[in-house]
């Protein structure tokens, strides 16, 4: 993991949830959608193909674990998964629980409007619930 | 693969490139961006977690193979990968080569403007080049 430093933009926009085998798991501080971000703790990774095959397989399973958890917590209709990085080059994977009638439905959340930050106690409660559910289920 | 039928919306918007071990590989018929779509040939898969772990690992490697190829072909600045499915529920993964100044830069391509279809000879040439490059490189 040497050399890994979270991009300051990601640090500013999220709350810490957990460090897993590969990824740092973050909650996007945007109350409009249940929205997690996974950042592989590898220095200088920008594209999926910058990771080796072992890390890519681990990342896929970590993404799926978060996706399942957000789906169960929110009852969302669809999970959106995205790796864009046009603005923040550090490789990071969005996992967003989408529901009909949410702020951007049926369009993508990226670039849509302005984040509405959580009230801090609500954000902390969400992080705690995410942690508890993800620890309680096998990866 | 029994029971797999490509969603009619995906069929209408794309050109066939190849059937790989898991995925059908398609070219999005939108000349604004080099844009491929991978559809795992599994009936009723809507979310990544509807695939088993073996299929998920295969999908990840197939996505990466397309991503590398589009990057090499286009010299793109960033590859965008997305699994949304808010409108078309059949699981499908977008792999889009993005460049500064393209039609949607730096925003996401999904939901942005209207597709500009390829002139057919250009589309066929693009498909041929994609096929040749992907067959020439190891998965």
Query: Which of B51, B77, B83 has the most A C-beta neighbours within 10 Å, making it the best mutation to test the interface with A?
Result: B83
> Over the stretch A59-73, which tens digit does the pLDDT of each residue have?
999 999 999 999 999
For residue A110, tell me if it sits in a domain.
no
Decide if B2 is inside a domain. Answer: no
A7's CB contacts (< 8 A; 6+ apart) are A39, A88, A89, A90, A92
pLDDT value at position B138? 65
Nearest residue in B to A69, CA atom? B49
Give the global pTM.
0.97
CATH label of the domain that carries residue A65: 3.30.428.10
Residue in B48, B59, B88, B109 to test binding to A, most A beta-carbons within 10 Å = B48
Question: Does residue A3 lie within any of the structural domains?
Answer: no
Pairwise CA distance, residues B115 & B96, whole Å: 14
**Domain-embedded: residue B106:** yes
ipTM of the complex model: 0.96
Beta bridge partners of B36: B27, B95
Is residue A108 in a domain? no
pLDDT of residue B136: 72
Is residue A139 a part of any domain in this protein?
no
| Below-50 pLDDT ranges, chain B | none
- In the numeric block, which tokens belong to residue B116? 């500009």
Structural domain boundaries, residue A61: 8-102+117-134
Q: Could you give the CA distance from residue A123 to residue B34 in angstroms, rounded to a whole number?
A: 39
Query: How many other β-carbons are positioned within 10 Å of the β-carbon of residue B7?
Result: 16
> Closest-CA residue in chain A for B56?
A60
List of chain A residues with pLDDT < 70:
1, 138-139
Under an 8 Å CB criterion, which residues of B touch A? Answer: 46-49, 53, 56-57, 59-61, 63-64, 67-68, 71, 77-87, 89, 98, 105-108, 110-111
- How many H-runs (helices) and E-runs (strands) does chain B carry? 3, 5
Q: Is residue A97 part of a domain?
A: yes
Number of domains within chain A: 1
Per-residue confidence (pLDDT) for residue A139, from 0 to 100: 67
Local structure of A95: helix, strand or coil: strand
Residue B3 within any structural domain of the chain: no
């Amino acid at each position: 993991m040497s050399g890994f430093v979270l991009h300051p933009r990601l640090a500013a926009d999220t709350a810490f949830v957990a460090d897993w085998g590969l990824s740092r798991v973050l909650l996007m501080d945007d109350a409009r959608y249940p929205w997690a971000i996974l950042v592989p703790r590898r220095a200088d990774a920008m594209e999926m193909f910058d990771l080796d095959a072992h890390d890519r397989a681990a990342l896929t399973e970590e993404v799926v674990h978060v996706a399942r958890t957000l789906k169960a917590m929110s009852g969302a209709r669809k999970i959106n998964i995205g790796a864009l990085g046009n603005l923040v080059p550090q490789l990071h994977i969005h996992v967003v629980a989408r529901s009909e009638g949410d702020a951007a439905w049926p369009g993508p959340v990226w670039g849509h409007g302005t984040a509405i930050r959580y009230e801090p106690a609500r954000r902390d409660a969400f992080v705690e619930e995410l942690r508890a559910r993800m620890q309680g289920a096998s990866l």
